[in-house]
Structure formats: C-alpha cells, structure tokens
Chain A
C-alpha cells in the first residue's frame, strides 16, 4: 500500500466522497419516483382523458329526418336510398386517368371536373370528395362494373329526403335543401348537428317542424394518428331518426284538389267542421320539391320563378283575395245578430242603388225585384246587401267577421308565410289611411269588395264555423297523439261552449240556422247561384255560397259591352270563389275554393265542390275508422 505523506489515504477520500454522492443519488431517485407516481397514479385519469382526446376523433354523419305521413299513414315525406360516388384521393394511383374515366362514364361536365380538382386541393388526402350526390341506378351499376379500373373510387349508399307525391304537397310540406349560413345561425339544433351533406327544411312544415324532424347524428368514432389520419373505427353510434309527424290531410282529397286546379291558379281547402282538421290544403300551380334536394338547376329555377301563375306562393295561406259574395253569409248573420233585420225584411232591387250621387250596381242589371234574406242569399243580390250593410255599419260587421276568423291567422305558428288578411273598420281606416270612413265603403264591404282581404283558409274556417252551428274551432294540420272522432269532437265542442261562452260565436243560434238555410237555397233551389252544381242525393247534398271578386273596377263602357270571359284579358278577369259545407242534413266538412281569374264563382268554382264532396263524403267512413297514430304500422 502506498501511504500518503499527510497521513490521509487517497482511497478513503474517494470512498467518503462517493458516500456523499450515494446519498444524493437516493434523494434524486426518490424524487423521480415521486414524479412518476404523481403522473401515473395521481393524475392518471387526467392523462388518460388527454390521451383519448388525442387518439379518438368523432365524425358526425347527417341525421335521418323523420317521416311525414298523411292521416291514413301514407308517407308523404320520406327517406330514400341514394347512390353517391366518392373519391378517396390517397387511394388513387393516377388522378388524371381516373377523372378521364369518370368523365366518360358519367358524362361529367368540365365544370364538375374542375370542382373536383378544387376540392382535392382543399381536402386532406384521406377525406373523400363527393363526385356525385345522386347517381341513377344505371350509373351506379356502370361504376360498379368498372370498379376494378377506378382505383380510389368508392360507391356509397346513403339516405336522402324524398317526396313521393311530388308537387301536390309542396305548399304544405315545403322542401329541404342544404342549409345556408342563416339557417345554421338561426337554429341552435341545426348548428349543433350540422355536417356537410345534411339537408334542412327551407319552407313549409319542413322548416317549422325542423326541430322535431331533424333526428340525431350517427356518430363514427375513429382512432386517429398524430396527423389526423383514421386508423380504425372504434364505434358506430346510430343516431335516432327524427319524429314521425302525422298530418290531418287525406292524400286522396289533396290529389283531387290538385287535379281540379291543374293548369289554373287557385286554392282549395277542406276542413272538418268539428275537429278543425284540415283535410286538404292545395295551392296551384305547384312545383316538385324533389328538384331542390340536390341543388336545382338554374333553368328549372327560372322556370318556376318566372311562371306568371306564381307557383312559389302558397295561395291558401298567403294569397289575399277579396271575398266577394262569399262574405254575404257573415253580413247577413251580423245584421240578424244585431237585430237590424229579420227574415221578413225585404229590399227592392232595381239593378242599382244610388248613394250621395254614386251608383252601386247589382250584378244583375235588370234587378232582382223585391227580395227577402233567403232570396237575396240565394241569388246573391248585391242591392239587398248594400242596404243591410248600410243599416248595419262596418264596425258591427267587423265584430262578427272577426269572430268567425277573418283578419286573423288560421294556423298561426305552423306556416311562417301565412297572412292575416284584413277586415276594415272606421278606426282602421283612420289609423292607417288617415282618412275618415265613407259610407259608400260600407256598401262595397257588404258585398266583399273594397278593403277586405281574406285568405282561402280563412274563408274555409268561416264556413266551417257556420256549418257546425256557430262554434269556434281550432284548425289543425297535425294529428295529436289521441285524435277524437267526430262524435266525440262535436260533444267536446258543445260542452266546452257551455263552459266558455267565448267559443260561442252567436247570440241566437236561430240566426245561424237562417244562414245555413239560405246557403242551402243558394245551392239546391232553382235560381240559386250554384244550383247547377248541386247534388240531390242527401248523402252528398251540400250548401254553399258563390263569390265573384272583381280585381279591377268595371268601367261604365265595359258594363255596357257585357263581355264574355274569354274576351277579357286574363289578368283583368274576376276571381271565382266558392264556399260550401256538407252533407247538409248532418254537416261534417267545409271547403273553400278560389280560382284566380276564373270568371264567375258559379261557373268556375262551384262545380269543383260537387266533385270534392262526392269524394270527401265517400271517404268519411274510412276516416272515422282510422286507428290512432301509434297503431299505424308504416
């Protein structure tokens, strides 16, 4: 051993100092273990969550919309399988070759090709490019046949909205299409469930019932790597289809309405007078909502937009018309209720009447002679109604009209394009036109001209409330879970009226009866304006009132010319109106018909009612037997 001079052994120094380091090592290692413990055991949950957040990504798929069915369970807005073609760029070997092949196979336009190239640049290589949203079956087969040659192409089956009855329900249902920025911003549910390729309601019930119909997204959970590439699918969570909505509408009646109005502009509405259920609601002309699903072509859109008959307007709810003579039952009822007249009250009609130097013409130039209430209604004598309107005054008339639903929305929140219409009174004129009411205006209001504006559905509701004996009903287009049959509904309605007098629209029910009889005469007695459209069979017998609304003041010269309808330019022709209810003995349904520029109500509108009542009453039994919603198996 080498002994150092100082007496200190070198190895002792080394060993002692090593010992100090050893102690330090233990402390440091302990520190590391504590750190490991805190990360892996204390904060394990936190880091597991973070790790899952890293690796799991969700992809939402478009939700499946709920079906809309008619009263009998026929699907009127459903979902259809569609075939789509996607390209997954990262799987494509030769992109330009693939595009040339697809271009030939599917006859793609150059614009489409450049769109595909644009989306290719925009998307990540594993995100699919949609080449076609809706392939025809034959195209789909063709693509599948050549699939060996189309590396990177993926034919996909998916679901899309479908309207099997094409244009007859368009104004009721509306249509769906890709949401724009506004749709997304205004509806939180759409915002939350939005995915590209999803369709949302743009108009009609599809829009108002969006939150019920929309359904929840299917969710695919994928494991992804750090670059966002999908590695494998972990879970496929099926979304829930949107709620099924059952409408009160009967497709057969709707179909007939559409057929009757074919090539015409107009509207037909049919309503159950006790339950308020809308049996048909048709606006003509219409358009095919299926056109909007995959983006309507410009030509087709221009065709719809520029059609002079205005297919985009829902005439039943947004069309505003002078009611013409169809207002007369209300005028007569108001006069009776206010004890202005009795059934014996008579007026002599000479074809015109003068007031402050102004001449008011009856539609019949020669005059009706001396007419009673019943006769005046039957023949629609204008002079009689000038007289009672004058005696009644517009303010009292308005009260009655309002009770029966004029000047108010009928369906309210269901259709955002529904119009209120207008029934004037002296206050209204003062407030809105800042001029005093003129008595002459009372006269023309009494025959449904002037300021009065009504929607076809308002006239239908008005008729229904006359037909059911003067009780207020709440019109509806969607069936509740537990619909009442008509006997129950009638009972409920009458019982409710005993409790709440607001639902009773009359003072004397006798007066309603008088109006009903007058409407019966108008249709079923000789000289009645719709006598030619009557049905004698009591099963179908109905009572109605015609109306012919002027769209333009008739000049003296024109009056003298007495032109035939086809001699007048289309836009100057009168609107033809008809309101009716039936069967007369045991009323069930009310309807209103409007044919724009159709000429006279008796010639253009009333004959339609005859055909409609045949069908409606034939189907009444079926409707009563129809089981409740839950029992319908679609």
Chain B
C-alpha cells in the first residue's frame, strides 16, 4: 500500500494532464466564455473597462487554476492551516487598514491587486475544516473540545467579516463551514438544537442588525413599499427577468440593462441581464452548466481516496451551490438582497480568484485521486 502510494504521488506531467477532468475543465472554459460575452453586454455592446478587466482576470486566474491543480493534493493538505491563518491576518488587515467603499471596509491594497480577503476566506474555511476533520477520528468528532475548535475556526472569520460589515459573505462563509461540520459527522441533533436556538434568538439578532439590513429584509418582504428607493433593485430585476420570456430579448438587446434601469448589473445582478437577454431557455442552460460543474466536483470527491480531498470537494461543491442559490434567489426576489456574486459570471477579482483556487484544488484532487493522506 505504501508503495502504491508513493508511486501515485510521483505522477509524470503527461499523466497529470491525462488525469485532468476534462468535462469540468470544458464547463469552466464555457462558463468563462459566457461571462466575457455577458460582461461585453453590460458595457453596452462595447469593449470597455469591465469587459477588458474581466477578460484579463480570466487570463490570469485560469492558468493559475491549472498551476494549482498540478500541485499534489498533499501539498494543499499541508498548507491548509497556513492558508487559513494568512487569510485571517488579511481580514484583520482589512478591518484595520482596509479600503472603505460606500460604508464598508472590505478591501486591502496589495499594490498589484486590490483584494477582498473575505472572498478567499470562503475557500480557506473549507480547506481548513477539511483538514481538521480529515485528521479527527470519527469517534472524537462529537466531543465538546472538538466542536468548540471547529466552531472557532468558523466564528473567527465571521466576526471579522460581519464587522466590515458584510452580512452576505459571512453567511456564505458560515454555511461553507457548517457543511463540513455536517459532512464530518457532527450529530444531527446538534444541528436541530442550534437551528431551534437560532429561530428563538432571531428577534434578538434582528434588533442587532444595521438599519440598512433591516430595510433590506423589509424590502424583500414587500418590494413595492418603496419602489423608487430600497425596493427599486428587486423590482427592476424582476421586470428584467420577467420581460425576457421564453427566448429572451436577444444578445445586447436587454433594454432594462442598456437603458440603465438595472443596478449592479456587472456584479450581483449579472444573472438578471443574462436572463433578460437569453430568456428562460438561456437561464436553464446556464443552470445546467452550473449543475454539471457541481456534479463533476461531487464525483471527484466521491472517487477521492483521501477524506481531505473528499471533504474539500463536497464542501466546495456545496459552497458553489450555495453561492448560486443565494444569488439567484436574490435576483429572483426569493431572498432579501445580500450582496453575493455569481461564481465566475460576476465581475470581481477576489471572488473569481477564490473560485479558481477552489477549482484548482478540485482538479488537483482529481489528478491525485488515488493519493492517500495519513
């Protein structure tokens, strides 16, 4: 067995290339291509700042993903805690000396890139917990100390992100973390208990919310209460999607978008524009593409020999799923507006970087799926 192990860990370059998951790779390329075209549409059918910038980021991060995939999964296992630790430091930096944009302090200036560490934290919390549960014996999972340690891993970044303030990202970090706890074997009754506790304490949580966050929830419950103010985004988004119909208004013909009725069309509301121009069929197509990506990731997790890779893949697949669901539910008016980007499609370097790192590690797991980690 050990022999076998060593053999696998020394794959040649050709073998590594052969071991790549091409369906996943093609889906990612397809998604990237779509995202460039949609970005081109948000620029009003011109190659302007957003299109260029988005394209350049893809050109950097896609190769980066491949580079990451060629590292042995063991390497990512070893560096998981370090990675997590660095991101926590970066989050702290953002809290102390971050760039303030419209009231929230989420970004740090690294001189070659303006980074949003909270986006990277979405990945690193999965990595960190995957390693933690990989090393933990199944019988010790439900011991008090271990639960506290696991929760601490989740809570530290959440406190930092909430204080930025950024409710949306912290919810996504929390759900990515909790899913590993779930997969790791935490007793179901703990989930039930904490869910009920959450429901009971909900009124108290709401009273701690910032006024704009309360407004968002109220607006979600009834967007028409202030159609030109807080409800504007969601109403315009629904109009855009609804008016797209079966086949959409056509590429570059989304009136809601190019007449600037749509807010945040480059970032959180990118799906709205896509759906307006390509209609129900287009939207289903995009959804299917995401489902293919998610199911490939799950499959890779399922064939991985190490629990670290398995936990990471499952966790990451779930995270992608959650991003999509939160984003779509938001633009479709099913959830309150909690700024959350659509993976790869939305404009934003940090989010794309995080997703690409995730894909890279998943591909690394695929290449090294026979690799065991002791």
Interface residues of A (CB under 8 A from B): 2, 4-6, 8-11, 13-15, 17-18, 21-22, 25, 28-29, 31-33, 35-37, 39-41, 43-44, 46-48, 50-51, 54-55, 223-227, 231
Q: Decide if B216 is an interface residue (CB 8 Å cutoff).
A: no
**Minimum CB–CB distance for A72 against chain B, Å:** 54
Residue numbers in A under 8 Å from B311 (CB-CB) = 14
Residue in A5, A22, A231 whose CB lies within 8 Å of B298: A22
Are the C-beta atoms of B284 and A47 separated by less than 8 Å? no
Chain B, range 33-78, C-beta contacts under 8 Å to A: none
A224–B260 CA distance with the chains assembled, in angstroms: 10
A33–B236 CA distance with the chains assembled, in angstroms: 19
Residue in A5, A31, A36 whose CB lies within 8 Å of B137: A5
Are the C-beta atoms of A35 and B332 separated by less than 8 Å? yes
Closest to B186 in A: A17
| Stretch of B14-22, B106-114, B177-185 with 4 or more beta carbons under 8 angstroms from chain A | B177-185
Q: Decide if B256 is an interface residue (CB 8 Å cutoff).
A: yes
Interface residues of B (CB under 8 A from A): 137-139, 179, 182-185, 236, 238-246, 255-256, 259-261, 275, 279-280, 283-284, 287, 291, 294, 298, 301-302, 307, 310-311, 314, 318, 321, 325, 328-329, 332, 334, 374
Are the C-beta atoms of A40 and B260 separated by less than 8 Å? no
Are the C-beta atoms of A17 and B185 separated by less than 8 Å? yes
Are the C-beta atoms of B287 and A29 separated by less than 8 Å? yes
Are the C-beta atoms of A51 and B279 separated by less than 8 Å? no
Residue in B179, B259, B291 whose CB lies within 8 Å of A54: B259
Residue numbers in A under 8 Å from B256 (CB-CB) = 51, 54-55
Residue numbers in B under 8 Å from A22 (CB-CB) = 298
Are the C-beta atoms of A13 and B185 separated by less than 8 Å? yes
Given A32-B329, A41-B280, A47-B243, are A13 and B260 neighbors across the interface (CB < 8 Å)? no
Are the C-beta atoms of A17 and B259 separated by less than 8 Å? no
User: Do most interface residues of chain B lie in helix, strand or loop, or is the interface mixed?
Assistant: helix
Given A36-B280, A40-B279, A51-B240, are A18 and B183 neighbors across the interface (CB < 8 Å)? yes
Are the C-beta atoms of A36 and B283 separated by less than 8 Å? yes
Given A14-B184, A17-B183, A18-B314, are A50 and B329 neighbors across the interface (CB < 8 Å)? no
A29–B329 CA distance with the chains assembled, in angstroms: 10
Closest to B279 in A: A40
Are the C-beta atoms of A40 and B259 separated by less than 8 Å? no
Are the C-beta atoms of B255 and A13 separated by less than 8 Å? no
Are the C-beta atoms of B242 and A50 separated by less than 8 Å? yes
6 contacts between A and B (CB under 8 A): A13-B184, A14-B183, A32-B329, A37-B280, A40-B246, A43-B242
Are the C-beta atoms of B328 and A32 separated by less than 8 Å? yes
**Minimum CB–CB distance for A186 against chain B, Å:** 34
A14–B311 CA distance with the chains assembled, in angstroms: 7
**Minimum CB–CB distance for B83 against chain A, Å:** 22
Are the C-beta atoms of B239 and A40 separated by less than 8 Å? no
**Minimum CB–CB distance for A54 against chain B, Å:** 5
Instruction: Name 13 extra pairs, CB < 8 A, besides A21-B182, A21-B183.
Output: A10-B138, A11-B310, A13-B185, A14-B183, A18-B298, A21-B314, A36-B275, A44-B246, A46-B242, A47-B238, A47-B243, A48-B242, A231-B259
Are the C-beta atoms of B239 and A4 separated by less than 8 Å? no
A473–B328 CA distance with the chains assembled, in angstroms: 80
Residue in B255, B280, B284 whose CB lies within 8 Å of A223: B255
A31–B310 CA distance with the chains assembled, in angstroms: 28
Are the C-beta atoms of B287 and A33 separated by less than 8 Å? yes
